[in-house]
Structure 1
């Protein structure tokens, strides 16, 4: 076999011949409702202890019926056991694996199972982002009527149907305003059970007949505002008149963006008042457009413009009032790492910049409650940003991520804010993040596979684990007692990984490298009469030291797509091989202080040894290989294997800063010990897949979040 020098990295390669067709769980047509899949691990949680009732007790103020009010005295959710002042909740997306959010693929059975699971976890509020199909509201009402003392309250979101304001630089554009106004009115009608909509791509349709307003905790409208487009809106509409709405008005200090929001909030309030209802109404905001000044923020866009809820006021005619809503995470923007006053703020006996930021938000909004409507950290293998105190945007084991989420929820309550909604209920396969998005081609198939390197796909309390084709059982690839270094090899694959099980001959080698030949064109075609491929990606394992590293041939390295990293900033290539890494931060200068921020890279190619079985007490969800006696088990994420989209067998081939792909005909697998023992195990082949299968599981350590949800609910009276 022609070795080249690929094995120098550490030694070895494995795989085998197998043809697999992967089909994944996809929502069936409406006439064939999908049965609810059980959520593994949920039954192991002990039953919740009985506590004070949260049964809804709406009040009538000024002729309007309201379940909640928000104002200078705080947030008050009216229940039969008194007002609840803190809302512990969770964010719910609008789709399932295998689908884009606009497909609204969640089924009636999904809602029923999820609401029951939320109850078991102590969730008191479920927040959505858009109008869900009629079954959402029907199942929510059924759930709440069955459990009147512990209902799930609704924080209803309304998304902008037309986001072209970003390219137009103008929220006031007629298309943007008109479509959002119509969506607000439809949302009010949906909550009241009086809406019919014809099928429209990207929108829920059908007939809404269930009134859930007795459990309506409030509204959060809009989206995370794009800073440049918001600043452009303010410049282009400086002369726009302040709306004189009956229910909401902008103050004299209101910016054009804030005036536009006041008008939209008044439109929603008008629709609600027409149905005899009132509820607190807020707009979405996030740290990138908060009203505070962050003098030490390195990126101009992250402190370019502010949107201030203080400048949008409810009138006395609107008893529901208003509040400030923020998506606030502990790892971004970077001002949390550099702002001096945040570095000094102490919480729970230590300096805590995130707690300092939450405290700043509360102090700014002295006469209205603040709800942290998104927070959390992901349990992904990949990372996108470092945060203070190790609260990074990824690279967390599931149990660690759940512990941090629980810690943050308790912090939000302790600091006097009015609510905290964990992001998110379940893992979302369609999500993208900045340091992997250019590597995923074609983008319109991202929902058909689950990328462990994309942190945004792993925020859920509920894991959506890839299941693969139920007919695609492991195939025996090598079964030869005399073969070395492996006498038995099995392979299978799913939406996240290529899985290999290798029985090693004794004595065990100290090191083994598993190489994958994903593009014969790149590495050279096999010689006539024999298979002799060279790998394009390699996974070097130190079997004795229980460590490992992923490598990729320099022509396939995706890093140039993200940033022109100086060669001196990375480990030097070895014979044309580069360690697989992720970019976390570009080189920057911090304003005011002039501090130089070095380029930050992350060794996402580190191959952790251990068990990833969530039932194991010492499992690490980031582990990728384990050695039990002579049996080696390895799961290889698709991105380090070289793939831009495994569902269509596309391998990423960067051409400068342009992402292109080539179709892999098969994946050759090789093993090498680096001691003259090389083995070609065969080739893995599969057909393109158009559907996905997955199973649902409560993430390991989620009981910590449950404890925090229960505790903060108990302290909310």
Structure 2
């Protein structure tokens, strides 16, 4: 998970083409097929977007050593993390993270099918991905397909970094990590994870976890283990105070140093239990625990939010004994845009790259013997953004090409500064995710419905190397006339409302489009008059300036949900506000005592361009085109006020709180000035299943090339 989520988871071209076509076949949540036309268009785009990594003549087959009677595939060695392969020791690990679900499902449903795992492992291998990290125990078919893939590619296997997630995160509410029931659940999860990778586990169905019978033994490719979650600073501090008398853990395989905190003592016990389970099976591999900047062991006096520097959890206080040859490493989820100390700490402001300067500080803290791996990094390719980052690496508002070029550069920089590796977040886009500045807009319905639609404004849903694109339902004509506005055609999918407006002549004056979503509203901007009726959202396309601007009635501006107090932007004199996303609230800088202004991304200033992945001009953030007399729009549901289009629920702010309003349809008015007017309705049916197609993102080649570079 990223910080924003916690705030509110043979390389021939012919084979690539075959796999890409399969990958791009449209899917529904129950595995249905798309139309041949849709699959064909998507597959051609995917083939154009990437080519396989050059065949590596070296063998990456595991070449374990035996130490202390344990077979050791990887180990902490002389300040490095080394993977033993037949071509030699690899001391920089590169790869991706993979979540546990697909569009239309929550993570606890573990909805990935056998066919999806098979397809994805093939694609990963073709891209030169050597390391796959998962966060929890996946269903048995994942291990079966990984084993089948690796046995079919013995010289180019995909190594597994197996995560063990807390099955019970109630410590955040109870402020007690040592609470008996939640600790027992984690002890059982550790035991089950070890059994799962050895193909020796049967679990009965239980909500939120995988079940079935695991028979595939993938242990020879398990390169490392990562235990735990991103630690909540407030809960950690309170739990440490409550459990100050808990003894240090002095286990056979992992032990605390004398200055270990209670949280570090609890973590050491879980890591020791895992090591013991593996040792009983004759194996050893590095074991680490999850961490992130919020709970790092450094102090950040420039951090404006107390909760982001409240407590530290230090890997230096949880160390392997001589009985555990696999050792350990420091595992960090670290992104270039958060927390804010990255932008305000004086030493980082002076650095050529504040993000790398921070990572070097972490590396120095863990030196000389503890390797540091960035086990989550990346920037999202989304229209929306939630935070400004360092050197332009914001938490969103990137094209796919920009985002993956930034990801590639970061991966290469990790190797240059001597880190142990970098694992990209993530393999595929995840529709269920949320982030702080759009969560209030979604809060009007059950959060389980969030996975049924793909919000262009929620950056967290767009981190994937592989896109999970929605599928259009089919266009229909909503207005026709012989003159003026001759035709208005409407369509929609799980992300966008599509409008095609055909005029009888190329427009010279601005074209205004109004949207009536909820009761109330304003006349169209710039004095369009009574012909426009009343609207809640409006769009002005100015052909002379080549601009398109989308506004919202200031009375229902969703920015009012962001708790900005005096910093809510004022509406214009006509009552309209440019649509915005808040990317930061105002705060007081502790070192200077200066108050920063709130920060915004003006999403209402729409981007003109192509959203066809096969086009050289493709930019997934594009929302409008004007081609002669035809105006084509695709607008995010959220920019039309929908908090959940799948249940036809709009959201309006009342006294700073989100209120859901049921919507039957959306009224549309088009005012082309002398070119005439038109009215139409956007109607759609509610849905309870998500349809999607897969597509390797534009710009993926830059990341594939970086994978090749760092593996040399």
TM-score, structure 1 normalization: 0.90
Tell me the number of residue pairs that the alignment of Structure 1 and Structure 2 aligns.
669
Displacement after TM superposition at 1:590 (Å):
1.4
1:464 aligns with 2:465: no
The answer for the alignment partner of 1:27 in structure 2 is 30
1:647 aligns with 2:651: no
TM-score, structure 2 normalization: 0.91
- Aligned residue for 1:639, secondary structure, equals helix
Displacement after TM superposition at 1:661 (Å):
0.8
The answer for the alignment partner of 1:424 in structure 2 is 426
1:250 aligns with 2:256: yes
The answer for the alignment partner of 2:694 in structure 1 is 696
The answer for the alignment partner of 1:7 in structure 2 is none
1:388-416: per-residue Cα shift (whole Å, max 9, x none)? 21010000011000100000000111110
1:485-539: per-residue Cα shift (whole Å, max 9, x none)? x201211000001001111121514211111111246679xxxxx9985221111
Displacement after TM superposition at 1:244 (Å):
1.7
The CA RMSD measured in Å over matched residues stands at 2.0
The answer for the alignment partner of 1:547 in structure 2 is 547
1:452 aligns with 2:453: no
Inter-partner Cα distance in structure 2 for 1:513 and 1:531: 11
Displacement after TM superposition at 1:657 (Å):
2.1
Inter-partner Cα distance in structure 2 for 1:41 and 1:72: 45
- Aligned residue for 1:597, secondary structure, equals coil
Inter-partner Cα distance in structure 2 for 1:444 and 1:677: 45
- Aligned residue for 1:426, secondary structure, equals coil
Inter-partner Cα distance in structure 2 for 1:676 and 1:24: 45
Task: Describe how 1:492-511 pairs up with structure 2 within 5 A.
Answer: 492-511=491-510
1:228 aligns with 2:231: no
Task: Describe how 1:55-134 pairs up with structure 2 within 5 A.
Answer: 55-134=61-140
The answer for the alignment partner of 2:328 in structure 1 is 322
1:444-477: per-residue Cα shift (whole Å, max 9, x none)? 2111110010000000010111013xxx321122
Asked which structure has the greater RCO (Cα within 8 Å, sep 6+), the reply is 1
- Aligned residue for 2:541, secondary structure, equals strand
Q: Pick which of 54-63 and 200-209 moved more.
A: 54-63
Q: Pick which of 273-282 and 187-196 moved more.
A: 273-282
Displacement after TM superposition at 1:577 (Å):
1.8
The answer for the alignment partner of 1:667 in structure 2 is 666
Displacement after TM superposition at 1:237 (Å):
0.8
Q: Pick which of 624-633 and 124-133 moved more.
A: 624-633
Query: Of Structure 1 and Structure 2, which has the larger fraction of its residues in helix?
Result: 2
The answer for the alignment partner of 2:610 in structure 1 is 611
Task: Describe how 1:182-193 pairs up with structure 2 within 5 A.
Answer: 182-193=188-199
Inter-partner Cα distance in structure 1 for 2:209 and 2:619: 39
Displacement after TM superposition at 1:580 (Å):
1.1
Inter-partner Cα distance in structure 1 for 2:312 and 2:532: 60
1:678-701: per-residue Cα shift (whole Å, max 9, x none)? 624321212210001111111111
- Aligned residue for 1:203, secondary structure, equals coil
The answer for the alignment partner of 1:9 in structure 2 is none
Task: Describe how 1:354-503 pairs up with structure 2 within 5 A.
Answer: 354-366=355-367, 367-440=369-442, 441-442=444-445, 443-468=447-472, 472-482=473-483, 484=484, 486-503=485-502
Inter-partner Cα distance in structure 2 for 1:216 and 1:520: 58
Q: Which of 175, 182, 190 pairs up with 2:181?
A: 175
Inter-partner Cα distance in structure 2 for 1:123 and 1:571: 49
Displacement after TM superposition at 1:228 (Å):
0.1
The answer for the alignment partner of 1:280 in structure 2 is 286
Alpha-carbon contact 1:533-1:668 (below 8 Å) kept: no
Alpha-carbon contact 1:326-1:372 (below 8 Å) kept: yes
Displacement after TM superposition at 1:571 (Å):
4.9
Inter-partner Cα distance in structure 1 for 2:641 and 2:382: 18
Alpha-carbon contact 2:118-2:145 (below 8 Å) kept: yes
1:213 aligns with 2:219: yes
1:35-80: per-residue Cα shift (whole Å, max 9, x none)? x998665544334323221111122211211211114431110111
Inter-partner Cα distance in structure 2 for 1:393 and 1:285: 19
Alpha-carbon contact 2:53-2:704 (below 8 Å) kept: no
Q: Pick which of 36-45 and 316-325 moved more.
A: 36-45
Alpha-carbon contact 2:53-2:705 (below 8 Å) kept: no
Alpha-carbon contact 1:248-1:266 (below 8 Å) kept: yes
Inter-partner Cα distance in structure 2 for 1:190 and 1:556: 51
Alpha-carbon contact 2:293-2:339 (below 8 Å) kept: yes
Task: Describe how 1:679-694 pairs up with structure 2 within 5 A.
Answer: 679-694=677-692
The answer for the alignment partner of 1:581 in structure 2 is 580
1:255-314: per-residue Cα shift (whole Å, max 9, x none)? 000011001101111111121111100000001000011111111111111110000000
Displacement after TM superposition at 1:544 (Å):
2.4
| CA 1:637–1:412: 2 relative to 1, 3 Å | same
Inter-partner Cα distance in structure 1 for 2:656 and 2:611: 35
1:643-685: per-residue Cα shift (whole Å, max 9, x none)? 1100011010211122111111111111113x47662432121
| CA 1:46–1:496: 2 relative to 1, 3 Å | closer
Inter-partner Cα distance in structure 1 for 2:575 and 2:623: 24
Displacement after TM superposition at 1:112 (Å):
0.4
Q: Pick which of 280-289 and 652-661 moved more.
A: 652-661
Inter-partner Cα distance in structure 1 for 2:163 and 2:375: 11
Inter-partner Cα distance in structure 1 for 2:398 and 2:127: 21
The answer for the alignment partner of 2:22 in structure 1 is none
1:298 aligns with 2:304: yes
Displacement after TM superposition at 1:480 (Å):
2.0
Inter-partner Cα distance in structure 1 for 2:490 and 2:142: 40
The answer for the alignment partner of 1:601 in structure 2 is 600
Displacement after TM superposition at 1:630 (Å):
1.3
Alpha-carbon contact 1:27-1:106 (below 8 Å) kept: no
Alpha-carbon contact 1:517-1:523 (below 8 Å) kept: no
Displacement after TM superposition at 1:216 (Å):
0.6
The answer for the alignment partner of 1:163 in structure 2 is 169
Alpha-carbon contact 2:505-2:675 (below 8 Å) kept: no
Displacement after TM superposition at 1:543 (Å):
2.1
Structure 1 unaligned segments of length 5 or more: list them. Answer: 1-22, 30-35, 346-350, 525-529
Structure 2 unaligned segments of length 5 or more: list them. Answer: 1-25, 33-38, 524-529
Inter-partner Cα distance in structure 2 for 1:454 and 1:533: 31
1:144 aligns with 2:150: yes
Inter-partner Cα distance in structure 2 for 1:239 and 1:408: 42
Inter-partner Cα distance in structure 1 for 2:213 and 2:303: 48
- Aligned residue for 1:566, secondary structure, equals helix
Inter-partner Cα distance in structure 2 for 1:100 and 1:623: 28
Inter-partner Cα distance in structure 2 for 1:341 and 1:414: 20
- Aligned residue for 1:70, secondary structure, equals strand
The answer for the alignment partner of 2:54 in structure 1 is 49
